[in-house]
Amino acid sequence: MMRIRTIFALPVFIFSLAIQVAQAQEIILDQQVRAGKLTLFPSVSDPNKYYYVADKARLATHDNGDPQFSFLRYIQANVSADAENDEGTGGGIVHALVELVVTDEQLDDARNDLRRLNGSGEIIGPVPFKSGTFALISAFAEAGSEFTDQVLGVGNAPVLENQKAAVSLSLTEQGAKVLWESFNTATPDISFSFNMEIDGYRAPKRALIEADFDRIYQHQNFAAGIASPVLQAEINAAFDDMRSEGAIKVTQTGEDEKMEALVQTAYNRLTELMFDKSESSGMDLGALASSANNTPSMLDKASALLASSRAETRTENDAIRARNEAIDNREAAAAQSNAQLEETRANVEAAEAGAEDIANRAESMRSIADRYESRAEAEEDTARAAELRQLATRFREQATRYDNMATEQRQEATNRRAELDEQAAAAAQANSLAGNAGEREEVQELPSLAIVASYRMKQVRQRGKFTVDLNKYTTDTLALRFDENIGDMTRYLNDEQVFYTVDITSNAFSQRELPVYIDGLNVTDFGEYINFVTVLMNKKHENGSTSSDEVRIDRNNFQESANNFKLSYRKINDTDQTKFLDYEYKVLWNFFGGAEVDVDWVPSSRSGIPLNPPYQRRSVFLEATPEGLSDASIKSIEFKLYYQLGDREQVKRLSLRPRDNEGISQQLEFMLPESEYEYAYEINWRMQDNSRVSSGRVDSEDGTIYLDEVTEA
């Protein structure tokens, strides 16, 4: 049977301790080390301090040890005269709490291993993730089909270590069947797959990024603007085209830099400047799977790009394996040639040594013959003298035979030495070919769900030339992927608190629960910008009556409930199962400063309510080169960022004191309404002579501000 690989991507949300981060984390992304089972990143300010990645996923458990996991499978009878159609339809809803936990034992092992790498090394704490996606992956077989990969849902996953992530997913009928069957074995083919991002700094590189935005926006993928979400893979493909055309340049002046890493740093920066990340939920698979004008949906594009990129990777891996095999063959040929050469050299040396030994024996025989001749001359007994002369003759004959043998051995050695010269030339050629064959390459890992990261083009376009000198600590992001099997769940198959099936055509299915969760915000964002959000739900029944429910989400219960809330309504004389799924909901957002956003009633029949905040995260990069700071005689910089949240202006401040021969690369994040990009800033420079220069308040929509360009108001 052929195997089909189906990917169920789930949104993940988290409650955790709020961490106020105004800029990139103080870690060096490109100097990671492996200690024990943990990945560590050194601090920018102290190379002996390290932070670890919490990449160990597992199902969270209740106090009694049972998993915080539930799988509701629902069926709807399809009574028909055709017996083949009586199976009915249905689907499923999965809810789980997943946690990322690093044990004390793993930390101890990492500390011990780190001491061997760096005797002064110290592990300080975890690295918080910036964002990411979470997926539930299941592989299964289906007769008559080919092995294929499909992306069925995507979602954001802001996750911090030692906290729980609430997972909710609506499954199709086929998805529910596949997932249900997968749990029937002690080792289910089901795994968690995290594709996460962390932010930090790249170590200084002797490289320069240059981009011409006017040419970039003329690319066919960008010329008309992008109203619908676009995948990260599509953006990178367009950037590759423009890099080959010269609109994007990455110039390296050192010899130790890896060009691939430099290019990805350039792409990351340009993506941040040109696009906003789409805050989409994996709960509403129907919306993700559909699109207007018969164009491919997000999931269609994600599946196609995933299949294409994996095919390209497999082709490249085949080429890598062929190159590695060629290297192996050349090295094997060189080894065989060297072995033959050594064997022949040993034979030549043995023949020469044998000839010398035989010649020595001949000489010894002649000496013995001479002694017998001398004794015969001195012997008075004629008979005895004759015997001695006979012995001398025999020894001379033996010496002659040894001389002949030595001559033969010398001829053999001469012949073998000629063969040795030929083999030495062949071995030298084989060694040269092996030496010039290059280094073995590692096969590439097949692309994972990171390909489904999606973006929307910013309404405000960048203009002119963009230049970033990487010869300083530069802010950047690093993508990490890690997976973990869900584990043996067979002992819970008969536990209706974990696995249960309902027939929504029967009166037993008398209440419907609707998971509610905030999409696109982690607890840091919530605690910094939002007071609370209220969700109202109305259900109009067939008899004309109305049921209602309400939930209020604030900073406290957002954290305590792991962003997992519920609304519900009961069946009251509702006989039409399709209409029973219909309801409407209304959302009220209350932001710091008293600003309120009241969203109109929204009709829905979805199995969950993802709440997308009306404000989106924005970012601005602050850049300065060492030469620019030195030429302008800048001693320190005070930067203020002004932005509007509701009817109250917010301010973020950043004090910077450049160190000698170092530039500045910082990123500030803030919130603005979805369709707005305008903010204001003020720069106050303190010069080396202690004089002060102020830019005054400047309105801007730029994605990058150059702090070494001193302009007085």
Q: Sign of dihedral through CA atoms 22, 467, 265, 195? A: positive
The answer on pLDDT for 541 being more than 80 is yes
10 falls within a domain: yes
pLDDT (average), residues 24-53 = 88
The answer to whether residues 311 and 418 belong to one domain is yes
Q: What is the pLDDT of residue 5?
A: 34
Give residue 236's pLDDT band: very low, low, confident or very high (50, 70, 90). Answer: confident
What is the pairing mode between strands 615-624 and 704-706? parallel
The answer to whether residues 392 and 295 belong to one domain is yes
The answer on pLDDT for 289 being more than 60 is no
Give residue 586's pLDDT band: very low, low, confident or very high (50, 70, 90). Answer: very high
Which of 45-49, 145-149, 537-541 has the largest mean confidence? 537-541
Q: What is the pLDDT of residue 109?
A: 93
Q: How many CA atoms lie within 13 A of 325 on its CB side?
A: 6
Which of 507-511, 536-540, 575-579 has the largest mean confidence? 536-540
Per-residue pLDDT tens over the stretch 501-534? 877 665 545 778 888 877 655 556 676 778 889 9
pLDDT (average), residues 425-448 = 79
Q: Among the three residues 588, 607, 626, which one is the final residue of a domain in this structure?
A: 607
Q: What is the pLDDT of residue 51?
A: 92
Q: What is the pLDDT of residue 52?
A: 92
Q: Is 298 in contact with 291 (CB distance < 8 Å)?
A: yes
The answer to whether residues 287 and 253 belong to one domain is no
Q: How many domains does the chain have?
A: 5
The answer to whether residues 50 and 193 belong to one domain is yes
566 falls within a domain: yes
Which of 71-80, 82-91, 361-370 has the largest mean confidence? 361-370
The 8-class DSSP code of residue 676 comes to -
Q: What is the pLDDT of residue 120?
A: 92
Which of 94-103, 167-176, 223-232, 284-293 has the largest mean confidence? 94-103
Q: What is the pLDDT of residue 15?
A: 26
Per-residue pLDDT tens over the stretch 449-493? 544 567 778 877 888 888 888 888 888 888 887 777 888 888 998
Q: Which amino acid is at 21?
A: V
The answer on pLDDT for 64 being more than 80 is yes
pLDDT (average), residues 313-341 = 87
Residues 99, 103, 108, CA angle at the centre, nearest 5°? Answer: 155
Give residue 8's pLDDT band: very low, low, confident or very high (50, 70, 90). Answer: very low
52 falls within a domain: yes
Q: Sign of dihedral through CA atoms 601, 604, 609, 610? A: negative
Q: What is the pLDDT of residue 295?
A: 58
In angstroms, the CA 264 to CA 169 distance is: 32
Provide the b/e sequence for 123-155 (b: ≥16 CB within 10 Å): beebbbbbbbbbbbbbbbeeeeeeeebebbbbb
pLDDT exceeding 70 applies to what percent of the chain? 78
The answer to whether residues 189 and 208 belong to one domain is no
- Residue that is written with structure tokens 């994972």 in the block: 448
Walk across the sheet containing 49-52 and list its strands. 33-35, 38-42, 49-52, 122-126
The answer on pLDDT for 535 being more than 90 is yes
Comparing 122-131, 295-304, 610-619, 631-640, the range with the smallest average pLDDT is 295-304
Q: Is 473 in contact with 202 (CB distance < 8 Å)?
A: yes
Nearest to 635 by CA among 684, 683, 682, 688: 688
The answer to whether residues 191 and 291 belong to one domain is no
Give residue 551's pLDDT band: very low, low, confident or very high (50, 70, 90). Answer: very high
447 falls within a domain: no
309 falls within a domain: yes
pLDDT (average), residues 363-389 = 87
In angstroms, the CA 155 to CA 705 distance is: 31
The answer to whether residues 575 and 689 belong to one domain is no
Q: What is the pLDDT of residue 82?
A: 45
119 falls within a domain: yes
515 falls within a domain: no
Q: Furthest-apart CA pair in the chain: how many Å?
A: 154
Crossing angle of helices 259-274 and 232-245, in 10° steps, is: 110
Per-residue pLDDT tens over the stretch 159-211? 554 556 656 666 667 777 777 888 888 877 777 777 788 888 888 888 888 99
Q: What is the pLDDT of residue 264?
A: 83
Walk across the sheet containing 609-611 and list its strands. 565-570, 511-518, 609-611
Q: What is the pLDDT of residue 448?
A: 57
Q: Is 1 in contact with 144 (CB distance < 8 Å)?
A: no
Q: What are phi and psi of 667, to 5 degrees?
A: -130, 130
More confident residue, 304 or 101: 101
In angstroms, the CA 151 to CA 175 distance is: 12
pLDDT exceeding 90 applies to what percent of the chain? 13
Which of 327-336, 354-363, 536-545 has the largest mean confidence? 536-545
Comparing 83-97, 372-386, 411-425, 444-458, the range with the smallest average pLDDT is 83-97
Give residue 637's pLDDT band: very low, low, confident or very high (50, 70, 90). Answer: very high
- Mapping DSSP onto H, E and C, the string for 553-622 reads EEHHHHHHCCCCEEEEEECCCCCCHHHHCCEEEEEEEEECCCCEEEEEEEEECCCCEEECCCEEEEEEEE
Nearest to 70 by CA among 497, 489, 512: 497
Q: What is the pLDDT of residue 465?
A: 87
Structure tokens at 613: 């905040």
- Residue that is written with structure tokens 């394996």 in the block: 321
Q: What is the pLDDT of residue 522?
A: 58
Per-residue pLDDT tens over the stretch 125-148? 888 787 777 666 665 444 444 434
Q: Is 543 in contact with 571 (CB distance < 8 Å)?
A: no
The answer to whether residues 53 and 143 belong to one domain is yes
SS3 for 429?
Answer: helix
The answer to whether residues 270 and 290 belong to one domain is no
More confident residue, 509 or 240: 240
The answer on pLDDT for 683 being more than 60 is yes
pLDDT (average), residues 590-598 = 76
Q: How far is CA 271 from CA 235, 378, 460, 710, in A?
A: 8, 112, 13, 27
Q: How far is CA 163 from CA 59, 141, 234, 349, 612, in A?
A: 11, 35, 33, 73, 22
Q: Among the three residues 607, 625, 641, which one is the final residue of a domain in this structure?
A: 607
The answer to whether residues 375 and 425 belong to one domain is yes
581 falls within a domain: yes
The answer on pLDDT for 89 being more than 90 is no
Residue 580 is part of which domain span? 523-607
Q: Among the three residues 607, 636, 670, which one is the final residue of a domain in this structure?
A: 607
Q: What is the pLDDT of residue 87?
A: 47
The answer to whether residues 561 and 531 belong to one domain is yes
* Cα-only R_g, the chain: 38
pTM above 0.75, yes or no: no
Average pLDDT value for the chain: 78
The answer to whether residues 44 and 182 belong to one domain is yes
Nearest to 502 by CA among 215, 61, 72: 72
Q: What is the pLDDT of residue 687?
A: 92
